[in-house]
A and B are shown apart, each in its own frame.
Chain A
């Protein structure tokens, strides 16, 4: 695999590992906020979840899809950040 050869392997460089770990934790914190928001709204403000902001689809569905997409987006951001030297 070409990309395995032309950048330092994290396994051998603890400072890169540590930096990646920090990125990971920040992105994780972002997701926790999003997820907690979803849990909180569903439990304590359900009427908000039935509103239909756009596409005629309610917030519960949109937020749910949003969390799935956000997971992917954050994972991609993480990959990009970890590649930078």
Chain B
């Protein structure tokens, strides 16, 4: 769809960014020491840190991605919510306090606190960098995709705006301003989503009646089009419904965009979709609904969603057909209604494995994300770490409940853009009024700012503190540590911008899923065994981190989806049976750690476990 520049959106947006930058400069005065730069002096109050957890964690993937997935496909987006939140249980009950006890600034500090091993420092620093980069790419892509329709500018500019703003934030003040940005973002997100949810429930559901008889679903529908003298016949299963005919979007080899075979413009554009065609009891509208009523009503309704079919043109262009699909609410509100998770409903055990593996990755991944873990160093003590995790869980959990309503509201608001799932939440807001649209979009943007700041912090810590100071043994006084940290942040910011531009056509949620798989495979076995098994040796940890990271990375790069979307090769040539490696690579990490530790364990060396107790 075509969006135009909106002054109100721009002003609200600019206002938010200005406030954030102002805070960053103001707080920057207090971050002169290394402890200040990396760990905010360890003085962040637990409540602030808890909300900052939420702000840090609820990235574009959570807010835009999950909402969008629910809006298009129903329940399956909610699966991500459940998995993401469950991961916090791992963080709270298994990781939070031990990690606080062990480390100084970074995740590598924690894993290495007993051994002082260069191998560990190197392996963990690299894994932190890899995970942070994989997590950064979808954020930047998300920023680009978001800013383009909001402000009517190209996605490349959106990526650059995010990149520069974040660099300024991180270079000027480090963890203190990052924390406050995330605190603000976290609060705003929850508050505005709550407001939107209330508005959705108040609005209720309305039927958009069908005026013409629709063709039987499953009928082959043929288009004949004349392009440059060549007649092309497109065959498609579709049911044209009044006002919602099958539409097409063509990208020609020289980059022009055609909608329904004519150049795309404000007048000739894809029509939005997402309506209810039948309510229970034959009602035409429901009026305000309670939260449970809303869901139960939807379950008994019929909803029009959009189906997609991609076909390659003989001249090398690509045409995507969007056609209306009527679905029962009860079908949409069950796992397996989306392409990603459709395997759950099949009888094939392997297809179910993909679902199980993803749920495992999400469960284990949260606690393994370096940019979440370093947030534990910003509070004073373990009790504070515990309390802030609790606040984080409460706000994140509440938020995920809200996104379910936002997604379902978007699904039935008649305003969805068939080409872009990520715009569902902002477009939902727009269906109420323009001001709300501007505000939600600005919040979504600061969402990306917050997450990218946190990621760059983790990355800059890995480079300056773990790699340079500890591994390469570059001598640094306190001032130099901060300087190198900021330099690393600058480089990472630029790298992130470049990668974001390179990857800007890829699916955001999929990339985030990768990051979770890699984080869990590389970090979780090492962390858990270090904390709970006496015979863990430094070689064991190094091997586990290296093998976990490399195996999950290799699995992903050889998976059918990457074959298709990145290399442009035939999916069936891949030998990988399912797309998410966690089910295989996490146990592999544990196995490698155990085997290598047993092989290298010497009775004379202090067991890791005992030393942890004495700390």
Contact = CB atoms under 8 A, between A and B. Distances in A.
Interface of A: 1, 3-4, 9-11, 14, 17-18, 20-21, 24-25, 27-28, 31, 35, 38-39, 42-44, 46, 49-50, 52, 55-58, 60-61, 64-65, 67-69, 71-72, 74-76, 78-79, 82
Contact of A35 (B92, B363, B386, B613): B363
Contacts of B93: 24-25, 27-28, 31, 74, 78
A67 B401 CA distance: 11
17 contacts: A9-B382, A11-B382, A20-B97, A21-B97, A21-B98, A24-B92, A28-B89, A43-B344, A44-B352, A46-B345, A55-B292, A56-B295, A56-B300, A64-B78, A68-B82, A71-B86, A74-B93
Contacts of B186: none
Contacts of A1: 45
Of B101, B382, B383, the most chain A CB neighbours within 10 A belong to B383
Given A56-B299, A79-B387, A46 B89 contact: no
Nearest to A40: B356
Given A11-B100, A20-B97, 16 more contacts: A4-B383, A11-B381, A17-B101, A24-B93, A31-B86, A31-B89, A42-B79, A42-B355, A46-B344, A56-B293, A57-B299, A58-B334, A61-B78, A71-B86, A72-B394, A74-B89
A36 B293 CA distance: 28
A3 to B, nearest CB: 8
B101 A11 contact: yes
A67 B82 contact: yes
B449 interface: no
Given A27-B93, A42-B355, A57 B295 contact: yes
Q: Per DSSP, are chain A's interface residues mostly helix, strand or loop, or mixed?
A: helix
A59 to B, nearest CB: 9
A10 B292 contact: no
Of B82, B85, B381, the most chain A CB neighbours within 10 A belong to B82
Contacts of B89: 28, 31, 71, 74-75
Contacts of A24: 92-94, 97
A78 to B, nearest CB: 7
Nearest to B92: A75
B75 A60 contact: yes
Interface of B: 45, 75, 78-79, 81-82, 85-86, 88-90, 92-94, 97-98, 100-101, 292-293, 295-296, 299-300, 330, 333-336, 344-345, 352, 355-356, 359, 363, 380-384, 386-387, 389-390, 393-394, 397, 400-401, 404, 613-615
A38 B82 contact: yes
Contacts of A46: 334-336, 344-345
Contacts of A4: 380-381, 383-384
B344 A42 contact: yes
Contacts of B299: 52, 56-58
A9 B383 contact: yes
Of A20, A21, A38, A75, the most chain B CB neighbours within 10 A belong to A75
A59 B88 CA distance: 23
Contacts of A27: 93
B333 A60 contact: yes
A39 B356 contact: yes
Contacts of B390: 75-76, 78-79
A61 B407 CA distance: 14
Nearest to A14: B613
A33 B394 CA distance: 21
B92 A49 contact: no
Contacts of B393: 71-72, 75
